[in-house]
Amino acid sequence: MSLSAKRIRPGFTLACALCAVGFSGFWGPAEAKPGQPALVITNDPLPPDLHSRVYNRPSVAPVIGPDAIAGPGYYDNLETIVGRKVEQLRGELFGLQGDVSSLSETLAALEQRSEAAAVQYYADIGTISTQLQTGTTPGNPRLIQRLAQAQSSLEGLANNLARLNEVAVESSRLASLANFLLEAVRASYNLSGAVEEDHVRLAELEDAINNTIVVIDRVLNNVNDDISRTAAYLSTERSNLRTLSLAITEGDLYGKSLSNRPFSGISPASFTPDELRMAMPTSPRPLVKIRFNRPAVQYEQPVYIAVSEALERYPAARFELVAVHPTGANAAQIAIESTKARRNAEKVLRTLTQMGLPLERIDLSYTPSPDAQSNEVHIYIR
């Protein structure tokens, strides 16, 4: 029977039609046997692999929920260049903090040794003064022994003073290193290729470095106070010991050295009021204005020149150091700026004392100023 004579029931599949459109196989016989028709009609379903190639089923898009955007799947552990930089800076900060801790312990130990030496010194001096007051023999060996112990205590303080100077130098080095790390962290914010977690860690690292800088500044202030106090103490007590040695030799109490009372036995000055006004400024005059509007302000050389010229013209002048901070912000920002201004003033004070200006000739104060655009330190001459 010919193809045109066959009737194809509904639901049947024509296998040869599939061959005509390019499919290489069908589910009838692979080839017609002799005496069998080449056309095979069947109602069996298509094989799954053939069905998937013939009919395109609808693709199901993945469902994107909040967890896919802000969940654990998004914030996976991804190593970045900035992340490696953070780890490097964190390691350097840990090393810096260890050095600061060791330096603080060294300073505390030196202060304890200085205190013990001062206690021993005054115990010896008190014994000598008491015995001289009640009466003793000239050149009393007991008092000479006490005097030798007192001198040994002063030498211990002098050795501590040398160590304090070393601590001050090391503190300055650590302060420079801390400021370098702070600038490196702030520069890392601009590096490309960071993820959100990197900037969070940078912020934490920046705060930790700022806290470390505060500790270093405190150590610097303490060690400079100790240096100034110990140096003045040694100068005074060495003069007192010379006088006390003479008193032991004579067996009589003289009192403190005259070098510690320079104005006790002099006559009044013969200057007229007009001449005296010419020798001193009539009112506080501005000498130096330092604006801390950038990280590293090189103010040491101009301050040294200005103070030197002022002392040449007014040898007995006093200086007033004023920390000035701006006021155009909220209360919290004003408090922060005030703290920064005082910290800068302490740096200038340390510079002046290191230049040799006596601490007792410097007065400190602070004031807000609506005209100031940044933290400033003003030096006035009186």
E-strand ranges in the chain read: 13-14, 41-42, 285-292, 319-326, 362-369, 375-381
For residue 132, the tally of other CB atoms under 10 A from its CB is 20
Give the closest residue to 366 by CA, choosing from 322, 325, 304: 322
Instruction: Among 114-118, 181-185, 221-225, 259-263, name the one with the lowest average pLDDT.
Output: 259-263
Q: Pick 86 or 38 by higher pLDDT.
A: 86
* Confidence check: pLDDT of 285 > 80: yes
pLDDT at 194: 83
* Confidence check: pLDDT of 174 > 90: yes
Residue 335 φ then ψ, to 5°: -65, -40
Q: 79-257 is classed in which CATH architecture?
A: Up-down Bundle (1.20)
pLDDT at 6: 44
Q: How confident is the model at residue 38 (pLDDT cuts 50, 70, 90)?
A: low
* Confidence check: pLDDT of 97 > 60: yes
* Confidence check: pLDDT of 119 > 60: yes
Containing 31, the helix (H) or strand (E) segment is: none
pLDDT digits (tens, 9 = 90+) for 248-277: 877 776 555 434 443 334 344 444 445 444
Q: Could you state, in order of their start, the residue ranges of all structural domains in the chain?
A: 3-54, 79-257, 277-382
pLDDT at 270: 45
pLDDT at 39: 59
Whether 140 contacts 248, CB under 8 Å: yes
Rg value, the chain, Cα: 44
Whether 241 contacts 150, CB under 8 Å: yes
* Confidence check: pLDDT of 136 > 50: yes
pLDDT at 17: 41
pLDDT at 267: 43
Q: 277-382 is classed in which CATH architecture?
A: 2-Layer Sandwich (3.30)
pLDDT at 211: 92
In Å, what is the CA distance from 238 to each residue of 128, 138, 233, 258? Answer: 15, 21, 8, 12
pLDDT digits (tens, 9 = 90+) for 310-353: 888 888 888 988 888 888 767 777 888 888 888 888 888 887 87
Percentage of residues of the chain with pLDDT beyond 90: 24
